[in-house]
Structure 1
């Protein structure tokens, strides 16, 4: 199916290309026919019955008529050159008419060709070219023949009409580009949603398997020690909790609706987070100052996630370390500080997470208008300090 589409696309491109070429050829042919008509019209201008000696011959009049009509054939491809040639043709025709003693100020066909070329300049020329053509038309008409200067302003109507057509085309092109860009962005978002759904399915499956295997493992061992059974129970509980969080965050992408209004984790689950860190080998001491106010949901959730990530980083990069968690409830902000010392247990290999956890913590603090400071300590440990204001979170 893909091969058929890829083979059909060039055919459609060739058809569109031939249509464009055919349309241009038709326009050029029509311009050429109109030019011949104007040539015949100009050549039909009545001559004086008894021309004065030295006046231009009929051959010269035919030549000038051809020159004034010829620029029309360039109007579609070279509008500026066609307009300049038509202006020169108008002046040459006027000089010829004056030399013959005719009463016409201009050849009618030459004037019409000039107006058509003006329209082409308005459609295809830029703003400066259009303004220059307008000035040349008005000033040139006044300089060449002051008696016909009044008609110079109406002659600008084709130029203005062409300029409006160009503006309309430009606007449509900009809108088309914006629609194409929006379609591309929508496609990217849809692809991200698809990947997130697949991630949800795959990871949820494996975490479910982990929970099931952790629950069944103690029954496969005869008289397992209590420590082993407890460890498997912790593994199962962590897997189920992670599975619940994953489904809450990513499960919404299946339907495109908002997730269920389940309670968001906050500092009220502080003991659970600390207990998980202690079971991972850390020695955690918690202290708090100030009276805990009713925290905005965003502040409570961000504080929970930052604390969770800081303790997780300590378990990965400083296993067995001592960690102090200080929570300072102030009147306008919450200060959370997590400091871990150097690790005392062997560090696992390939524990680098690419720094995404720190980026996530910083994003959460910045979203609330707060700050996050992280960095190593002289004793080899690491410190994370988050300042989360209340006001912006409630705004």
Structure 2
């Protein structure tokens, strides 16, 4: 609720309770002469009017407690309880409507951020005050109780006190018990309702906090998945661009060398450059399409082991001799394993084209067995020092480790460079793979 609306509601409530209290106390009769019965109780007109003014002024703390309960519920409860106590101690007039403020402040206090033991302590103190004031008024411990004059009331106080000291039974009737029990039960019921609402709000706040935590965790997982996917696509782009450019550079160098000596073969090399460039561009479009999905996006299938012969033939056409061998029975593998195997071979061939000595050959071997797939790619060039790990080797290392496999990349014992990888797989049904 808005603060302005709440202030207007509090002001309207105070006006209603004040008007009801004035009517309840016969305040309009203040301007007329009281009857003989009131004069018999109060003794004079001035005493009766002073008593009415005092009785109305006691309700002022309760009126102040109504707007104060939102900011200072404990202070408001003390003010309202003091107002009720003043009305209870009155031997002539009954509790006015303004005393409803004690229920409102108790509800606000029980639903506030104060400790529950504090609220329960205030409730016990208020209940004790109600019982003490009601019983004292009911058994005649207050002057003027029972319609008698104040002087006669003091005599009854003395007799009642003497009876208490002697241990005599007090004259407590059903009306006295009812007048005490009803307000006490109303106050206790107000606390119970407010405490239940407070518990429910706390439970809902806990559920909301858990929902917010789950939503943040989901967003974090999504962000991590997006970052991982972007890293994967970056590695894919590196593999595609590096391999395609390496093949094109080698073919361009061969075409330049054969331009004057063998013009026919020069045309074939240039044609291979065009084919390789187009294939690389198509692969780049496919990978970028995974990031920018939309109308017209080309969703070409991921590379697999079935595309290895085409990859090997493309490198052979560039002038690098390649010996492609397979042993064992090729099974149907998960797509992620086939993609990893394809990228491992692609990266190894790219390194061979870039770093091997001119005229060096290359061996590509795939060994299938029921437990996994072993890949070995080695060139026959001169011995080379261990290269600094680049993005390509780092990318295939991450792929292999993600699948729980092993990878070794470095100088081969007989010279050149060797890439060896072991991918554990669960074979299903065999299929044919043509080299």
What displacement does 1:152 show? 4.0
The residue aligned with 2:371 is: 332
2:273 is equivalent to residue 235 of structure 1: yes
Q: 1:145 to 1:95 in 2, by over 3 A?
A: closer
What displacement does 1:88 show? 0.4
What displacement does 1:67 show? 1.9
2:404 is equivalent to residue 370 of structure 1: yes
Kindly indicate whether the alpha-carbon contact (under 8 Å) linking 1:116 and 1:158 is maintained by their aligned counterparts in 2.
Answer: yes
Kindly indicate whether the alpha-carbon contact (under 8 Å) linking 2:69 and 2:77 is maintained by their aligned counterparts in 1.
Answer: no
Q: 1:64 to 1:258 in 2, by over 3 A?
A: farther
Question: 1:235-254 CA deviation, whole Å, 9 max, x = no partner?
Answer: 11112222343454555723
Mind listing any 5+ residue stretches in structure 2 that lack a counterpart?
Answer: 27-36, 132-180, 431-435
The residue aligned with 1:10 is: none
Q: 2: distance between equivalents of 1:144 and 1:392?
A: 84
State which of 371, 383, 390 in structure 1 corresponds to 2:426: 390
Kindly indicate whether the alpha-carbon contact (under 8 Å) linking 1:94 and 1:106 is maintained by their aligned counterparts in 2.
Answer: no
The residue aligned with 2:99 is: 108
- Let me know the Cα RMSD of the aligned residues: 5.3
Q: Where do 1:78-157 residues align within 5 Å? A: 78=71, 81=72, 83-101=73-91, 103-104=94-95, 108-114=99-105, 117-118=108-109, 122=111, 125=112, 129=114, 131=116, 135-136=120-121, 139-145=124-130, 147=181, 148-155=183-190, 156-157=192-193
Question: 1:178-202 CA deviation, whole Å, 9 max, x = no partner?
Answer: 59x97xx89x98xx99xx9xxx9xx
The residue aligned with 1:73 is: 67
Q: 1: distance between equivalents of 2:51 and 2:312?
A: 109
SS at match of 1:100: coil
2:351 is equivalent to residue 361 of structure 1: no
Mind listing any 5+ residue stretches in structure 1 that lack a counterpart?
Answer: 1-19, 346-350
What displacement does 1:84 show? 0.9
What displacement does 1:229 show? 1.9
Q: 1: distance between equivalents of 2:298 and 2:263?
A: 45
SS at match of 2:366: strand
2:288 is equivalent to residue 255 of structure 1: no
SS at match of 2:89: helix
What displacement does 1:310 show? 2.8
Q: Which has the higher contact order (CA 8 A, sep 6+)?
A: 2
TM-score (norm 1): 0.60
SS at match of 2:59: helix
Q: Where do 1:216-231 residues align within 5 Å? A: 225-231=263-269
Larger radius of gyration: 2
Q: Where do 1:165-244 residues align within 5 Å? A: 225-244=263-282
What displacement does 1:392 show? 10
The residue aligned with 1:7 is: none
Kindly indicate whether the alpha-carbon contact (under 8 Å) linking 2:376 and 2:419 is maintained by their aligned counterparts in 1.
Answer: yes
Q: 1: distance between equivalents of 2:51 and 2:381?
A: 108
Question: 1:330-376 CA deviation, whole Å, 9 max, x = no partner?
Answer: 1131122335688789xxxxx99962x34543554466x43243554
TM-score (norm 2): 0.55
